[in-house]
A and B are shown apart, each in its own frame.
Chain A
Amino acid sequence: MSAPGQAIGAASTSRRVKDLAFRVAMLSCLGLAMLLLGVLIADVAVDGIGHLSLDFITSDPSSTASQAGIQPALWGTIYLMAVCLLFIVPVGVATAIYLEEYADTSKWWNRMIEVNIQNLAAVPSIVYGILGLAFLVRGPLSLGQVVLSGGLTLGLLVLPVVIIAGREAIRAVPSSIREGSMALGATQWQTIWRQVLPAAVPGIATGVILALARAIGETAPLIVVGAATFITFNPDGLASAYSAMPIQIFDWVSGRPSSPENDFGPLAAAAILVLLALLMSMNAAAIWLRNRYEQKW
């Protein structure tokens, strides 16, 4: 009688040890991952914090490290984000409305649009740069290396993010609301515009902010569509040459120091801190929106 009991007891000890070891191993994976990414941010902060100052934000780039700043790049990024925003909100929301409210998914062309958007989300960002170069900067539109072509390239890149988030937000509005509105005599568009969209706005806004947060750090496509690495003026419109924060960072990271005193590495770190601060506040805004206006039906 006691033999099986013992066997179970013995097994459970070694089992407990194994279990614990596994648990510790999994925990250390998580811990190590967080630690590595923490070291990354700490390293940037240590390198860059000494260079952060109002002068740094309001100065033009310079070949002397101690005088160089990020003003044109910061304004370039603001212009790019504005173009991007004006493009992705109407196009993204309209596509989301069409796919959720109008499209009959038994038709092949509507399914094609859906699959197409999924595929676009997986295309490497530098390929969007090539698209921008061939169609927007040169070729059919020939806009040149200006704010408009850069902003539209980024807009195309993050459009799938907005569409996917917009569709989820619209889908979350219960159909009873639509039916109620239609039953009172509203047309389909009146229903969408006055009932569905207002209810979906927080979700859509969250998606738009996250899309901009992705666009603001994209470097590779901007390199290809010709963002300038060294300009000493702020953009003054859609047809203006421009630089951007990530481009400025890239330029400073890849430039070899001409002398130990003239090292641009710490400047890159300081610019990264500014960029990360922008990113964090965008993400915080998205989280706040989600928590503040999230509706449970």
Chain B
Amino acid sequence: MEAGTAAGAVSRTPVLGAARRRYGEDLIKGLLVLASLVSVLTTTGIVISLLGETIVFFRDIPILDYLFGTRWSPLFAPGSFGVIPLVTGTFLITGIALLVAVPLGLGAAIYLSEYARPRTRKLVKPVLELLAGIPTIVFGYFALTFFTPEVLRNLLSMKVSIFNALSAGIVMGFMVIPTIASISEDALRAVPGSLREGAFGLGASKLQVSLRVVFPAALSGIVAAIVLGVSRAVGETMIVLVAAGQVPNLTADPTKPVETMTTFIGATAKGDLPTGSIEYKTIFAVGTTLFLITLVMNALSIRFVRRYRQVYE
């Protein structure tokens, strides 16, 4: 009986194997592949659109003048196209933002992961994620209409321009805090409890456990969080467009207005530029610079995370 069934199954096997090809299944798979090509095409599109106009731009403007020139006034003839003031403006504001966001964000993350009661954490984490989603134009409004006049000028009696790097940078720091706090908290919480217990067992205090055991173990995730914060700050447009001014100053003085790469793109593209004009091409050249900077940072962060990632069971 048993043998008979088995024999029957064997004789049927070829029929199963030769099941008719289902063209509908192939068609669907093809459609799915096409959909996933959209994201590949997006990247290709970004690179082509940026590079195409940028190459044309460098036919007019020598690349060395662009990379090392210290004067940026592309919209006045005869224009000068040194991108350095835009890059320093970008990094001045990013630096200020990090001075605010890294200590506050990491402190908040350590408290949430190591000290807070589960209930507190369950309440605060979603709020942080919600705050990370506030549109950046709101931060721009806050920097221009509250932080500069009320806090910097009235409360701290600083002599700052209406548009200045300091206010934009600090408020950008507020914007980045939730990102850094939330992602570092994930990294800290991913450190297994056995490490903490081991350290406590050896007589370490909570402070020592947090700073010398958990923090180093989560370092790769924390660095990734900070790099993500940096790349959000570098690519952020609205805060700087509203509050930092549009004056390409080559300065380290944060009380003065500066112009960032994103500000330039936003402010210049606002007018309806004729295709092929030098202003139009400039947008793409600056966009390429911005894109390359964020790409390099992203690559560095991926490498860093791979190299220092600790894997616990």
Contacts and interface: CB of A to CB of B under 8 A. Distances in A.
Interface of A: 15, 18-19, 22-23, 25-30, 32-34, 36-37, 40, 43-44, 47, 90-91, 94-95, 97-99, 102-103, 112-113, 116-117, 119-120, 122-131, 133-135, 138-139, 145, 156, 159-160, 163, 187-189, 210, 213-214, 216-220, 223-224, 226, 246, 249-250, 253-254, 265, 268-269, 272, 275-276, 279-280, 283, 287
A44 B53 contact: no
Chain B interface residue bracket vs A: 35 or more
B217 to A, nearest CB: 17
B205 A223 contact: no
Interface string B45-67: 11001101100000000000000
Which 6 residue pairs spanning A and B have beta carbons closest together? A29-B107, A124-B235, A217-B135, A94-B35, A134-B49, A220-B237
Contacts of B287: 126-127, 130
Contacts of B42: 120, 131, 156, 159
A241 to B, nearest CB: 12
Contacts of A268: 141
Given A95-B38, A159-B42, A217-B135, A131 B49 contact: yes
Contacts of A120: 39, 42-43
Given A95-B38, A130-B49, A217-B136, A29 B111 contact: yes
Nearest to B103: A29
B142 A223 contact: no
B244 interface: no
Contact of B135 (A47, A133, A219): A219
A91 B35 contact: yes
Nearest to B114: A26
A19 B207 contact: yes
B72 interface: no
B163 to A, nearest CB: 10
B12 interface: no
Main SS of the interface on chain A? Answer: helix
Given A102-B29, A126-B266, A159-B39, A44 B141 contact: yes
A226 B270 CA distance: 7
A189 B135 contact: no
Contacts of A102: 29, 32-33
Nearest to B24: A189
Contacts of B40: 112-113, 116
B145 interface: yes
B181 interface: yes
B295 to A, nearest CB: 7
B92 interface: no
B198 interface: no
B112 interface: yes
Contacts of A219: 135-137, 237-238
Nearest to A249: B137
Contacts of A134: 45, 49, 52-53, 284
A124 B234 contact: yes
Contacts of A18: 205, 207
B262 interface: yes
29 contacts: A18-B205, A26-B110, A29-B106, A30-B108, A33-B181, A37-B177, A44-B142, A47-B145, A94-B35, A94-B36, A95-B39, A98-B36, A113-B36, A113-B39, A120-B43, A123-B235, A126-B237, A126-B287, A138-B275, A145-B272, A213-B133, A217-B135, A220-B238, A220-B262, A223-B269, A226-B272, A249-B138, A279-B133, A279-B134
B242 interface: yes
B36 A99 contact: yes
Nearest to B53: A134
A94 B104 contact: no
A189 B25 contact: yes
A30 B113 CA distance: 11
Interface string B270-297: 1010010000000110010011001100
Given A113-B40, A122-B294, A126-B262, A253 B242 contact: yes
A37 B237 contact: no
B205 A19 contact: yes
A115 B36 CA distance: 12
Given A26-B115, A120-B42, A129-B269, A272 B127 contact: no
A30 B107 contact: yes
A253 B32 contact: no
B308 interface: no
Interface in B1-43: 22, 24-25, 28-29, 31-36, 38-40, 42-43
B105 A250 contact: no
A34 B145 CA distance: 20
A23 B4 CA distance: 75
A43 B42 CA distance: 39
Contacts of A25: 107
A124 B241 CA distance: 15
Contact of B137 (A97, A139, A217, A280): A217
